[in-house]
Structure 1
Amino acid sequence: MAVGDGPQQAIPGRDALITAVGGWVTREPVLTVLLTRVARLLTEALGADGCLVFRVESSGDLVLTAGHPAPAAGRTPLLLPEGSGLAGRAALDGVPIAVVDDQPRDRRHRELLGLAVGQPVSRLCVPARVTGGGSSAVLSVHSRERREFSRAEVDLAQRVADLVGLRVYVAAALTAVRDYQQEWDAVVATAVGAQEAERRRVAADLHDGLTQVIASLTFHLSAADVALGDGDVGYVAEQVATARSLADLALGETRSAITGLHSPVLDDRGLAAGLMSLAETVPGLRIEVDAREFALSHHVGTSLFRIAQESVRNVVKHAGASEVLVRLARHGHMVLLSITDDGCGFDAPSQLSGFPRDVPAESGYGLAGMAERVHLLGGRLRISSRPGAGTTVEVTVPDAP
């Protein structure tokens, strides 16, 4: 390995080259065009065969973004794992690396360098450094003719790379901001949709349950009033008794609706107790709860309770199940909630990352609302189901406060 061991002659046009790159960095709006121009100019200035430009991803991996000669279009960009090869090490260490006889192991990489089997290549990899440490890109110059890169050549390449570094960093930051905005818009849209769906559900429950009971109650009280005017005391007593039963039923329906909107047990005693209370409010379905109480932030506990509530509601409406098992556990900082039923099952989405826009709009069953809650917790939602084999809803929150 050698850096700067070659002849120390000055590079003709060095200042003009740096000035040109500085102008492109500030004026060229398309990043790939800028990087392609820089790769060509650096190749010509150093008398090399080519230059590849790798962008450093947030994961640390390097992705081929531009080059001279330009890589063939339409192929998947070359990806180098973090710290892999000369380019990866230059990105990690933040210092230029030059090698006289290099033998890249990656087949795609060798093709891009135009190397025959067993042919070595001389390479110079310089990191595009950013203020505060780290590298946003790596410029990798190569020469199939065996050579050493001089100190002047290394210094020039580093000056060019550092001019490019800030531009690549800013471009990555702008992309991250746009992605965040799209993600936030999707979350807001899903949240609003979930709220509207919940309002419609409450309205439907009140119409189908409480409203019908009150209408029937009014009918029997009116009948009692008419019978009272006729002096038929026995019939009046019968109608009042029926009305009283309906009033008790209306009270139960009201309490059920309130519990669906707010669980005082959850606030007073915690998530495990809230899940047990939920199990007791569902008639005609055997719900077993395997949960122990542990400290959990209120917003996390509330979100997990709502997911369990929606899952149980789906079981009642769609699954035709006889048994449900609700499990809640904590392993270190990770919290797991699962709801498993023995019902009819359905064709669940093949992939469900927990991000609302990944949930098909036609999937139904409140999955979008669940996914939105899980996403806000930084967790993962998994649905396992197939027709005739029941359904499991599993939520994992990796770092629950």
Structure 2
Amino acid sequence: MTTDLSRENALLLAIIQATSEGPGVEPLAAAVARLIAGATATDACFVHVLDDAGRSLTLAGATPPFDVAGRIQLPLGTGVTGWVASHRRPAVIVENKEADPRYRPIPALRGSEFTSMASVPMESDVAGLVGVLNVHTRRRRQFTERDLRLLTMIGRLVAGAIHQARLHRQLIGRERAHERFVEQVVAAQEAERRRLAGDIHDGISQRLVSLGYHLDAADRTVAEDPGYAAEQIVLARRLTDLTLDEARAAIGGLRPPVLDDLGLAGGLASLARSMPELEVVLELCDDRLPEHIEVALYRIAQEALQNVQKHAGAHSARLNFGVSQEVARLEVRDDGVGFRPDEPASGYGLGSMAERAELIGGNLEVRSRPGAGTSVIALVPVGGRGC
């Protein structure tokens, strides 16, 4: 690979221009690969990008005719590319790649067609290690120190640009996640309002109308027929008690009063006692959590236990709640008939439980199979707490 200073400067300027034209990682990697191969008289160029976890490399861009971007992954340390990423040092193979212990053939990249290769890390002080840049030639080529310095300089430029592109992608991802979260919150609020409105209309409002009828009848007949008036007052009192119970139930639908009185552990224990036909073994941590998390976990446990009672055909269940390593874990496990979670008709409220978990930043896992019972597990990050 030979080039004079002016050509090197032109190449670097072209790469700078390419890195400033857009935020996408894959288009950037493909554009850079073509520029490098064309300017350095190499036959192929591959740009491998380190994943966010820093554990593997993904081929993000390549020169034509290679159309494999995003489909080739290498664990860190695997192959020459993985070795360069692990050691953060350039590697050169002039010929006989197969004899090099670091080399791992990848059929889709047709390594047997190329004789020589140079591989350099793409890294910068700000971005750290971002990936690995490889160039290949069909004919034998001795890569010089100047060649490696140029490729390393290119790697630094590309590292900064890819780092910015990844930050942009992460920002967009967070914005979209936030939008979905807001949509879920609004939908949940509207569903809760509709439920409460239905409870008030169908229950409390109708009972209050009936209560008015009885009091009117008592008022009209109190002088002529005191006995009938007394009966109407007794009925009115019963309706008053029922209406009060329904009002309390409606309020409890928003926030179960038992959580205020007993906390989440006490509320879960009370919930288990409310199902006498089901034996529920309890293992509960006494830690208090933020109010919205306690309500969500209580509702998930409530729905899960109701599912056990209605659908599982179970003799017993276990209700576990604990906090470890800043994660709250709620599990409802039964010894019932089980089901296939991947079957659409097997939901039994799993969607609403999963939504509740997601709304508080957690996730829901369902483990079940026919004849082996079911486990519903909610995991929610809660910060520096632990039992």
Partner of 2:153: 159
Partner of 2:320: 328
The structural deviation recorded for 1:370 is: 3.1
Partner of 1:393: 376
Q: Is the aligned partner of 1:125 residue 2:119?
A: yes
For residues 205 and 283 of structure 1, the distance between their equivalents in structure 2, rounded to whole angstroms, comes to 23
Partner of 1:89: 83
Partner of 2:268: 275
For residues 319 and 208 of structure 1, the distance between their equivalents in structure 2, rounded to whole angstroms, comes to 27
> CA offsets, 1:335-367, max 9 Å, x none?
4323457899887556xxxxxxxxx9x998665
Residue 303 to residue 235, structure 1, CA distance change in 2 (3 Å) = same
> CA offsets, 1:363-394, max 9 Å, x none?
98665553343235443312456899986532
Q: Is the aligned partner of 1:115 residue 2:98?
A: no
Partner of 2:363: 380
2:67 to 65, 72, 84: 72
Residue 310 to residue 28, structure 1, CA distance change in 2 (3 Å) = closer
Spell out the pairing of 1:139-150 with structure 2 (5 A cutoff).
139-150=133-144
Unaligned runs of 5+ in 1: 1-6, 351-359
Spell out the pairing of 1:186-201 with structure 2 (5 A cutoff).
186-201=180-195
1:178 to 172, 197, 212: 172
For residues 126 and 99 of structure 1, the distance between their equivalents in structure 2, rounded to whole angstroms, comes to 12
TM-score (norm: length of structure 1): 0.78
**Relative contact order (C-alpha < 8 Å, sep 6+): which is higher?**
1
The structural deviation recorded for 1:184 is: 1.2
Cα RMSD (Å) of the superposition?
Answer: 3.7
The structural deviation recorded for 1:170 is: 1.3
Residue 370 to residue 187, structure 1, CA distance change in 2 (3 Å) = farther
Partner of 1:256: 249
Partner of 1:244: 237
For residues 80 and 348 of structure 1, the distance between their equivalents in structure 2, rounded to whole angstroms, comes to 33
Residue 285 to residue 256, structure 1, CA distance change in 2 (3 Å) = farther
Residue 146 to residue 112, structure 1, CA distance change in 2 (3 Å) = same
For residues 20 and 286 of structure 1, the distance between their equivalents in structure 2, rounded to whole angstroms, comes to 72
Residue 344 to residue 363, structure 1, CA distance change in 2 (3 Å) = closer
The structural deviation recorded for 1:191 is: 1.0
Partner of 1:209: 203
TM-score (norm: length of structure 2): 0.81
Partner of 2:58: 63
Partner of 2:97: 102
What fraction of aligned residue pairs are identical, expressed as a percent?
A: 36
Residue 52 to residue 306, structure 1, CA distance change in 2 (3 Å) = same
For residues 335 and 37 of structure 2, the distance between their equivalents in structure 1, rounded to whole angstroms, comes to 66
Partner of 1:357: none
Unaligned runs of 5+ in 2: none
Tell me which amino acid in the other structure corresponds to 2:53.
S
Residue 289 to residue 88, structure 1, CA distance change in 2 (3 Å) = same
Q: Count matched residues.
A: 377
Three-state SS of the structure 2 residue aligned to 1:13 is helix
The structural deviation recorded for 1:62 is: 1.2
